[in-house]
Amino acid sequence: MSVPVIAGLGTAHPPSANQQELWEKFFSQHYSGTTRALAQRIFANSGVTRRQAAVSPLIEDVSDWPTERRMRRYQVEALPLGKEAVGRALTTAGLHAGDIGLFVVCSCTGYATPGLDILLARDLGMAPSTQRMFVGHMGCYAALPGLGAASDFVTARGRPALLLCNELTSLHLQPSSARVDTQQIVSHALFSDAAVAVVIVPGGRGYAVREVASVTDTSTADHMTWDVTDTGFRMGLSPKVPQVLSTHVRGLVDDLLARHRTDVSGVDGWAVHPGGPRILDVVERELGLAPAALAASRQTLDEHGNCSSPTVLLILDRLLRSAPSPRRVMMLAFGPGLTLYAALLERHP
């Protein structure tokens, strides 16, 4: 049985914009009265200073576009972004696209057939025998089941796998009439675009994927939604989400670590998906972490916003480039369901 090891990681970002500039030059013009004051507070307290957008509202307002037009633009923008991230990951791993046995693509912000998995496999020169898997509509936690599937393939087949998380949330700006909804204001203040690719190989030097685990509280399924509407995809985000996380996150983490004969004190790297500042506060409190433990997550939120599925991988990239790099990393991500996912990584060999 092969040990699945992360051998390469590549990131790609569209152009960046300042959060204050986004507020002053675009979003502030779409609110009035008490709603404007509320929106300004949400933007100011989002924990975001800069974020990236393939389709920036400062240049192009897509808020009234029909979904069909947004999906056409998705392929135009997502394909080069995905190529860039995959190319960097393969280069770091010292592999060619033709070496990949399984290609997993995660994206909840665009759909088309043939999809990104087929188009990128064609353009990058993957073998006709390369298997593909597309993970859609899992939202912010999709990277971890994607990582789990790729790791299981490497373990079972002894061949390299590639995971790509590619999200363009900027295409789903909602019409002005929807902005009086507090949930939409929060979404507009947080979300960003990015692509991250990860190469997993059998054995070698890197970070071994020891286990991927999850827990889903289906009684709170309505707390986080992502609905396809005539004007793009619309986010539903209940303020009760942190409360649900506080109920489940400690048990998920403790059980996973116990299976590997360690506990929270044995983890020196934390990659926690920053759904927003409150999410990080809850995880820090429930796990009894020092403020510095989530510094990489808060910095990623500050510089990149919430990019949905790639975000936890952006945090991992930041951790692995730090000095000294951690020995053991716990990754946590949350999304619709309400679902919590965890992955334990350990430096190998």
Residues acting as catalytic residues: 140
Work out whether the CA dihedral 226, 230, 232, 234 comes out positive or negative: negative
Closest alpha carbon to 224 in 283, 322, 306, 155: 306
CA 343 to chain centroid, in Å, comes to 14
Three state DSSP letters for 181-224: CHHHHHHHHHECEEEEEEEEEECCCEEEEEEEEEEECHHHHHHE
The CA–CA distances, whole Å, from 60 to 21, 30, 181, 259, 345 equal 15, 15, 22, 50, 41
Pairing mode, strands 339-348 and 206-216: antiparallel
Closest alpha carbon to 185 in 9, 295, 44: 44
Task: State how far the Cα of 14 lies from the Cα of 188, in Å rounded to an integer.
Answer: 17
Work out whether the CA dihedral 90, 93, 99, 105 comes out positive or negative: negative
Task: State how far the Cα of 154 lies from the Cα of 161, in Å rounded to an integer.
Answer: 6
Going through 191-325 in order, the beta strands assigned E by DSSP cover 193-202, 206-216, 224-229, 232-237, 269-272
The CA–CA distances, whole Å, from 334 to 66, 221, 242, 259 equal 29, 12, 10, 21
Peptide bond into 349 cis (omega under 30): yes
